[in-house]
Chains A and B, each alone.
Chain A
Amino acid sequence: MAAINIFHYLPGNSVIHRIDTRIKLVCMIMLSITTSLMGRVWDYLFLTIILLLFFWLSGMPVPRLLKELKYFHLLILMIIGIQAFSLPPAPGAFIPIPGFTLAGLKSGLLLGWRLVVIVIICLLFTGTTQISSLRRAVEWFLHFIPGLPAARIGTMFSLTFVIIPLIFDRAAEISDAQKARCVSGRKNPWQRISFMVFPLLRRTFEQADEMAMAMESRCYSEVYRKTAMKTSGYDWMALGFTALVCGFLFLL
């Protein structure tokens, strides 16, 4: 089974699941932009509460949220640490640890928080959206741009999600197989990496080739198909609410 288990779709029928994927995508982008622009603690607090509310509405289990954040713990700690030591100290201030500043710590904490918020936004989106409808949504947006192979990009986009766990599985398998043959006895790290990377790439390309054929045999074609995607008043309400939240954060 896939070693990496993050950002997966959780089947359900919650109010978040039911939002039209195109609108959900726009909401996600709006929220992400807002997150990267806002700077005050109150902004973060407000948005976090709203997002947790969304999360609760989506019916996804909270342990899952904590579990998924686990992957980011180290990264977040690093960000906080680096930031804490990155600001020039105020003249005359008492510094118990060389290079450390309170302002730096504060900015590090905010940056870490920002990352948490972004992860929650992504989780909310990927956890409630089926890949096939994500593909259709991406296709739908792209088909307005003339000359762009919308269907192809949409498919590539969605297949990435399918193929990544497979690549991780395979990497783990190759790595195990090489451990079993005592690859750790080799001194040269580049050699060890190349023993890993080349078989992995070769197998992945072979698989991509076969996968393309299997898709073709199930009548996949790169022609953009107008699929029935209908928005309802409900979807526009969701969009309106998100816009309100973002607007609130910008204006106040």
Chain B
Amino acid sequence: MNILETQNLTHIFPDDTIGIHDINLRFQAGEFTILSGTNGSGKTVLVKHFNGLLTPSGGRVLFEGKPITANLKYTRSSIGLVFQDSNNQIVGQTVAEDVAFGPENLGLSPTEVKRRVQKALTAVDLSHLANQRPYVLSGGQKRKLAIAGVLAMEPKIIIFDEPFTGLDYPGVRQVLQQILELHHNNHTIILITHELEKVLGHAHRIIVMDRGKVVMDGSPGKVIAGIENYGLKKPHGNVETMTWLQ
């Protein structure tokens, strides 16, 4: 069964801008998918729908076969979204407090919240900074904090919206390493990026969007050939081994 599916999903903004148009996609559990496309092609709007953060103008989103609106709380705790700008996602005054935000919202017991915070912080290797204020963290650490905040919800799918933006080389490597670890731990990954040379080697599938529509969808080897038609830079080298991790 598909873990996540969209049916004729369309979003038109009040000012008549087309965010996305007639999107039909299916995601399998355990997949590592890259979602790419130029700025304004509709990637962020699409993933916000996966989380029920926007109301479709048409169509619907199914999670595990059921419309996400049937149980938004379940959907949101199962589909984690790491926002593009970590500053917008951090609401706690300390690192640990921020990670606890989600589990507390789920109404979990204080012991369970604590367990999850510790687990999530260990996973992203930030335990030693648990009592720090978030604004003293580096860009890469902030992004990892945002990831920990999502991990503490124990989601099945994790969506990353341009996680490499604004990071230096070590920052990119840290975050990429993190994403791969999560994938190895059986999370389904959807990664938005146009910096294909950094990750393409790890992905099973790449979806390209243009002006609100899905224009290409397939294995990296197949899709890469036509990518320049949609304003993306074709990376050099072997698609299968393309990564910033070696």
Tell me the A residues contacting B by CB distance below 8 Å.
1-2, 8-9, 11, 130-132, 159, 161-162, 165-166, 169, 207, 210-211, 213-221, 225, 227-228
A sample of 23 cross-chain residue pairs with beta-carbon separation below 8 angstroms, ordered by A number, consists of: A1-B136, A8-B93, A9-B94, A11-B94, A11-B131, A130-B93, A130-B94, A131-B92, A132-B101, A162-B91, A166-B87, A166-B135, A207-B85, A207-B88, A213-B48, A213-B53, A214-B91, A216-B53, A216-B76, A217-B80, A218-B149, A220-B101, A220-B105
The answer to whether A162 and B93 touch across the interface, beta carbons within 8 angstroms, is yes
Contacts A217-B53, A225-B107 given; does A2 touch B149 at CB 8 Å:
no
A210–B91 Cα distance when bound, in Å, is: 12
The answer to whether A214 and B83 touch across the interface, beta carbons within 8 angstroms, is yes
The answer to whether B91 and A211 touch across the interface, beta carbons within 8 angstroms, is yes
Chain B residue contacts of A213, Cβ below 8 A: 48, 53, 83
B153 contacts A by Cβ under 8 Å? yes
Chain A residue contacts of B77, Cβ below 8 A: 219
Tell me the B residues contacting A by CB distance below 8 Å.
48, 51, 53, 73, 76-77, 80-81, 83, 85, 87-94, 97, 100-102, 104-107, 109-110, 131, 133, 135-136, 149-150, 153
A162–B101 Cα distance when bound, in Å, is: 13
The answer to whether A218 and B53 touch across the interface, beta carbons within 8 angstroms, is no
A9–B98 Cα distance when bound, in Å, is: 13
Point out the residue from B92, B100, B110 that lies within 8 Å of A228, measured CB to CB: B110
The answer to whether B102 and A218 touch across the interface, beta carbons within 8 angstroms, is yes
A83–B202 Cα distance when bound, in Å, is: 71
Contacts A166-B87, A218-B149 given; does A2 touch B105 at CB 8 Å:
no
* A12 to B, closest residue via Cβ: B131
Min CB gap B134→A, angstroms: 9
Chain A residue contacts of B80, Cβ below 8 A: 217
Point out the residue from B85, B97, B106 that lies within 8 Å of A210, measured CB to CB: B85
The answer to whether B89 and A1 touch across the interface, beta carbons within 8 angstroms, is no
Contacts A8-B133, A130-B93, A218-B153 given; does A207 touch B87 at CB 8 Å:
yes
Chain A residue contacts of B136, Cβ below 8 A: 1
The answer to whether B93 and A131 touch across the interface, beta carbons within 8 angstroms, is yes
A211–B84 Cα distance when bound, in Å, is: 11
The answer to whether B135 and A165 touch across the interface, beta carbons within 8 angstroms, is yes
The 10 closest A-B pairs by CB, nearest first: A11-B131, A218-B102, A219-B105, A210-B88, A214-B89, A131-B93, A217-B81, A211-B88, A217-B51, A213-B53
The answer to whether A219 and B153 touch across the interface, beta carbons within 8 angstroms, is yes
Chain A residue contacts of B53, Cβ below 8 A: 213, 216-217
* A227 to B, closest residue via Cβ: B104
Min CB gap B84→A, angstroms: 9
Point out the residue from A131, A210, A219 that lies within 8 Å of B102, measured CB to CB: A219
Chain A residue contacts of B100, Cβ below 8 A: 132
Chain B residue contacts of A210, Cβ below 8 A: 83, 85, 88
Contacts A2-B135, A165-B135, A213-B48 given; does A218 touch B101 at CB 8 Å:
yes
Chain B residue contacts of A214, Cβ below 8 A: 81, 83, 88-89, 91
A118–B88 Cα distance when bound, in Å, is: 32
A132-B100, A207-B88, A218-B149 known; 20 other A-B pairs, CB under 8 Å?
A: A2-B135, A9-B133, A130-B97, A132-B93, A159-B91, A166-B87, A207-B87, A210-B88, A211-B89, A211-B91, A215-B91, A215-B101, A218-B150, A219-B73, A219-B77, A219-B102, A221-B105, A225-B107, A227-B104, A228-B109
A184–B97 Cα distance when bound, in Å, is: 42
A227–B104 Cα distance when bound, in Å, is: 9
Which of B73, B83, B104, B150 has its CB near the most chain A CB atoms (within 10 A)? B104
A162–B87 Cα distance when bound, in Å, is: 10
A216–B68 Cα distance when bound, in Å, is: 14
The answer to whether A132 and B133 touch across the interface, beta carbons within 8 angstroms, is no
A8–B134 Cα distance when bound, in Å, is: 12
Point out the residue from A1, A9, A131, A215 that lies within 8 Å of B135, measured CB to CB: A1
Point out the residue from A130, A215, A219 that lies within 8 Å of B106, measured CB to CB: A219
Chain B residue contacts of A11, Cβ below 8 A: 94, 131
The answer to whether B94 and A217 touch across the interface, beta carbons within 8 angstroms, is no
A213–B83 Cα distance when bound, in Å, is: 9
